[in-house]
Structure 1
C-alpha cells in the first residue's frame, strides 16, 4: 500500500484511499472496496479519519461519495500542523529538562555519566546540541571518534535556530584542506572560530549546563566520553574555555599591520591547503621559482623550519 500520509500520522490504508480518490473522485465506499479488494465495512474508519483531517469531503446523498482535497493545499496544511505540534513537544521537553536541572544532585553518579561506544557517544552529542537554547562552545582536536572529523549536522540545525557556536581549534588542523574547508563552512553559517597552536583538549559545553569530554586527553581514541551535569566541575570547564578563548587567535582575522602582503597571504592560504608549488604558481600567475623564493622568505620571517610550521605560525597569527 501507499505510504504517502504516514509522515503526518495516517496509515497506509488512508494513504491508499486518498491516492485512489485523487484518481477517481466521487467514489463511494463500495467503489473503493472494489479498487482495494477490502470489504467496505473495513474502510469506514479510514474514510472517517481522512474526513477529520480535511483530506476528503463526504458529499450529500446516498450512497455516500467522497472527493479529495487538492494534495498541495491539504498535505501542506497537515504538515504545518504536525510541525507546530512537534515544536510544542520540543518546548515542553525543554521545560521538563530545566525542571530536572533545578533538582539538586547529591550523588556523584547524578553529576557524571559514562558514555561508551561510537553510536552512544554520537547520539548524546546530537541530543545535547539539538536541545541547546543559547550557546554551544567547543574545543576541537584529534584523535577523533570515527578516526577523522565528521560533519556536525546538528550544529547546522542549531545555528539555523539562532544558537551561537564558539569553537577553538588545534591550529595544525587548519593546515589540512578538508578540515579547513569544514571550519570555513561553519564560519559561513556564523560560527565564531579561533585557534591555538598546541592544544590537546577536547570538549563541548551546551548552555553552561552540560558538557561532554573524553575519558582521556592523551593517546589513542578511547570511544568513551564523560557527560557532566551542572556542578563545580562544569563551572571549572566553562572558566577554562573562557580563558583559552581569550588567548586564542581568530581564524581568518585581518593581518596585523606588519603582516603579509595580500599576495603573500594568498600564498600562505594555498600552502595551508597543501597545494604543490606548480599549482600555486599557476594560480598566482608566476613561476615555480618565484613561489619557492617567496615561501623561503615567508618561512624566514615566521621563524619556521618547515612549510608546515610556516602554515601553523600563520594560522596562529591570524593570517589565514
Structure 2
C-alpha cells in the first residue's frame, strides 16, 4: 500500500479485512494483534481512501470494497511506479468478486449489501465533475451510514449536490454530518418529503432503489447512460428547486453585507448563529417542530420558544413570513 500513501499497519488491517469480509475494530484488532485504538486509526484512513466502507456506529462494522474498483481511483492520482498496484488490485479482486458479469443492458440489477456498497463507492470514485444525490431511507443495515469518501472527492474538485429528506436529518449526528460535508464544499438542500433516493454521477450513471413503493436497501438498479438518466436528472433538479438551501459558516458570514456593501443588523446581531441558521433552514423547508427538535437534539418546547424569539427579532407575524424575511437577509 506504500505507493498510494498508506503504511504497513494500514496494509495489515486492509488484508485482514479482506480475509474477514466484515468485522468490527475490536475483531480486527484481535486478528492483527494491534490495539483497538490503532486499528480504528487505520480504518479511518482506509475509509477516507475509499477502500473500506463503515456500516453503522454502535458498534461500527467495516466492509471491504472491491479492490480493483477502489484502488483504481487512487492509482489514477499517481504516476510511474503505481502500474504494478493495478495488477495486485485485480488479483485481490478475484478473491472477492462474485455474481454474474455485466451485460450490455442500460439497467443492471445489483443485489446484496456488499455489491451495493461496492457500487456506491465505485461510482463516486469514477466521478470527474459532479455527484447528485437524494439522501432518504431505506439504509443498509437499517441505519444511516456516513459517506466519508465524499470528503475525499470534494477535496479533489468533484462537485456534490445533496437533497436531504426529513428522515435523513432525524438526529443531531445526521445534522452534524451534513454540516461537516457542507463546510467541506457540498451544496446541500433540505426537502422534508423527498423520497426518491438516488445517486447520479456525471449525468451518465445512476444508482437507485429497484422499487420506490417497497424499497429494499440491498437491491438497487444500476442505470447507465440512456433516456432513463435524463428522467432521473430532471427529477433531481425539480426537487433541488423546491428544496431549501443549507448555507456554510463562510456564506453566513458573508451575508452580513447587503448589495450596497453595508452591514445589516437585527437586534444588534447581523447574522444568526450556526445553530439558528440550521433551525431556520429546517423551518423554512417545511419540517415540523417535532422533527426539527429531533434533528437538533433539543426539546420541541425549546424549538417553539426559539422560533418565537426569531420571529420577534425579524418582525415577522407568521412562520412563513419569518422564513421569507430570513431568506431576504441571506440567512437561509
TM, length-normalised to structure 2: 0.51
| Local SS of the residue matching 1:241 | helix
After superposition, where does 1:1-320 map in structure 2 within 5 Å? 7=2, 83-85=78-80, 110-219=105-214, 221-252=216-247, 266=275, 269=278, 271=293, 272-276=295-299, 293-295=305-307, 301-302=318-319
Shift, 1:152, TM fit: 1.4
Shift, 1:160, TM fit: 1.8
1:95 alignment counterpart: none
Question: How far apart, CA to CA, are the structure 1 residues paired with 2:118 and 2:243?
Answer: 29
Conservation of the 8 A alpha-carbon contact between 1:175 and 1:274: no
| Local SS of the residue matching 1:146 | helix
The 3 A distance-change label for structure 1 pair 86 and 196 is farther
Question: How far apart, CA to CA, are the structure 1 residues paired with 2:241 and 2:84?
Answer: 38
| Local SS of the residue matching 1:110 | coil
The 3 A distance-change label for structure 1 pair 223 and 266 is closer
The 3 A distance-change label for structure 1 pair 114 and 160 is same
Conservation of the 8 A alpha-carbon contact between 1:200 and 1:218: no
Deviations 1:104-123 (A, max 9, x none): xxxx9621110001111000
The 3 A distance-change label for structure 1 pair 267 and 158 is closer
Question: How far apart, CA to CA, are the structure 2 residues paired with 1:263 and 1:228?
Answer: 42
The 3 A distance-change label for structure 1 pair 7 and 142 is same
The 3 A distance-change label for structure 1 pair 158 and 295 is closer
Size of the alignment, in residue pairs?
210
TM, length-normalised to structure 1: 0.53
Q: Bigger radius of gyration, 1 or 2?
A: 1
Of 200-209 and 171-180, deviating more is 171-180
Question: How far apart, CA to CA, are the structure 1 residues paired with 2:230 and 2:192?
Answer: 25
Of 211-220 and 228-237, deviating more is 211-220
Conservation of the 8 A alpha-carbon contact between 1:116 and 1:223: yes
The 3 A distance-change label for structure 1 pair 88 and 237 is farther
Question: How far apart, CA to CA, are the structure 2 residues paired with 1:139 and 1:155?
Answer: 14
